[in-house]
Amino acid sequence: MRKKAVCTMVMMLGLISLFTGCGKDTAANMELTRTDVSTITVPEDVLVVGLGESSHGVKEYQEMKADVFQALVQNNGCRTFVIEGDFGNALKVNAYIHGGEGTAEEAAALIGFRIYCTEEMETLLQWMRTYNETAPEGEDLNFYGMDMQWADSSKEYVFDILEQAVPGAASEYEEALAFLNDDDMYDISTETFAQGMPVAEKLIQEVDNAEAVIVEAFGSETFAFARECARSIYNCCDIRKSDSEYNEIRDGHMAEKVEWFLEHGDGSLIFINGHNGHIGRMDATLYYNCLGKLLYEELGDGYFAIGTDAEVTIFNSQTDDGFEEKKVQNSNDLNALAAGNNGNYYYVDFSTAEEDNDWNEILSKKQSITSLNVGGPTIIKAFYTTEIIPIDTFDGMIIYDKVSPTTLEL
């Protein structure tokens, strides 16, 4: 009986380890970290800074994207915020922060995903709007989207410009692309999306043919955005035409969007934000070329990636009916250091920390980090974690002890 009891206890401890992770005492010089992200700077040759989040639906991660962006505005002259949100929808948000009508709550809802309908996102947008009210000419902030999973706003923008430039030219495309609407997006077949691609290609050519008229009437910037809206319609069809290639095609087009912002920007630093899986310099599964990997291949050290993780994650998990609060726990060498640290988080810049032997050991070996999307199973640790070698994936990380759910505005 005693032997059976011991075996049972061992099995129980094993299950506890499986579900919660294994903590350990980790030695590291915490003087090489910082607990105030307002002091974050990046090298002058960096063109794009990416900030990842290990889970959507987390208050601290939404607040941190605002804090890091504000630091880069102050310390590196950054003026462009690019979110993992729809390109066309974000143009309306950009209009809001430049004094457009509506409220911050309405602007947050325009981004295209319910995870952004939060008080934290409203606070960021209101700050950007207030900043722009007194910003010198040419130093105003911009808010853009690099995703293309929706179509209505992109269609509205390009059809309006095209119709004004060449009356009657937009009607053919309005009819041919009527199937592509946000309300039915998840009910459209992959075959129908594939059939929409040549129509979208023709629309791009129509805009190109009208370039001179559009530029004369509205300016070169409006032409550039109208054309990119047409490309976003094509991208939307492209990513949804194949379930098996969805992730790789989507990240490829998001990388193209970031490169487009670099080409059409003012030369200042660009800040991008999305899930860790997009932002890291490699996809942890190695199954596809993620956004961060593509940008790193194109820009080299011009791309600077920051990841996040937490020991305890309480988040808003999206369901068909709304959201439900969930909690997971994940221990690794990085977040084991957060509990005894001064404050709820610390930031570690790998270029500095790797010179320390203890830090180099931590950063150079596999660490299991939290990886939660808008929803999904959380019962078994393997469902909500992924393994990375930190120094191969990011240039720095922000590590929390505990994070909490966003404040929803639905």
Looking at the whole model, is its pTM more than 0.75?
yes
Q: What is the C-alpha to C-alpha distance for residues 364 and 362, in angstroms, rounded to an integer? A: 6
Q: What is the C-alpha to C-alpha distance for residues 313 and 56, in angstroms, rounded to an integer? A: 10
Which of 128, 130, 124, 127 lies closest to 64 in space, CA to CA? Answer: 124
Measure Cα distances from 179 to 126, 151, 206 in Å: 35, 10, 20
CB-neighbour burial class of residue 304 (10 A; exposed 0-12, middle 13-18, buried 19+)? buried
* DSSP at 302: G
Looking at domain 21-78+270-403, its CATH superfamily turns out to be: EreA-like (biosynthetic domain) (3.40.1660.10)
Q: What is the C-alpha to C-alpha distance for residues 218 and 216, in angstroms, rounded to an integer? A: 6
Ranges of each domain in the chain: 21-78+270-403, 152-263
**Residue 49, strand partner residues:** 271, 304
The reported pLDDT for the residue numbered 4 is: 36
Q: What is the C-alpha to C-alpha distance for residues 118 and 100, in angstroms, rounded to an integer? A: 20
What φ, ψ does residue 368 adopt, rounded to 5°? -90, 110
- Cβ atoms of 120 and 63 closer than 8 Å: yes
- Cβ atoms of 315 and 57 closer than 8 Å: yes
Q: What is the C-alpha to C-alpha distance for residues 364 and 185, in angstroms, rounded to an integer? A: 42
- Cβ atoms of 81 and 326 closer than 8 Å: no
Q: What is the C-alpha to C-alpha distance for residues 212 and 141, in angstroms, rounded to an integer? A: 28
The series of mean pLDDT values per 10 residues for the chain, 410 residues long, is: 36 40 66 94 97 97 98 98 98 98 97 95 98 96 98 98 97 97 96 98 98 98 98 98 93 98 96 97 79 97 98 95 94 90 89 96 96 89 94 97 93
The reported pLDDT for the residue numbered 268 is: 97
Of the chain, the percentage scoring pLDDT greater than 70 comes to 92
SS3 assignment, position 3: helix
Measure Cα distances from 159 to 66, 95, 165, 177, 316 in Å: 33, 18, 10, 11, 37
Geometric angle at alpha carbon 265, from 109 and 82, rounded to 5°? 30
- Cβ atoms of 99 and 131 closer than 8 Å: no
The reported pLDDT for the residue numbered 285 is: 64
Give the residue carrying structure tokens 């915020």. Answer: 81
The reported pLDDT for the residue numbered 6 is: 35
Query: What distance, in Å, lies between the first and last C-alpha atoms of the chain?
Result: 56
Task: Output the CA torsion sign for 324, 325, 329, 335.
Answer: positive
Which of 355, 343, 331, 275 lies closest to 307 in space, CA to CA? Answer: 275
- Cβ atoms of 115 and 318 closer than 8 Å: yes
77 alpha carbon, distance to own chain's centre: 21
Give the residue carrying structure tokens 């009916």. Answer: 321
DSSP β-ladder status, 367-370 and 385-388 = antiparallel
The reported pLDDT for the residue numbered 343 is: 78
The reported pLDDT for the residue numbered 286 is: 60
Which of 48, 374, 87 lies closest to 230 in space, CA to CA? Answer: 87
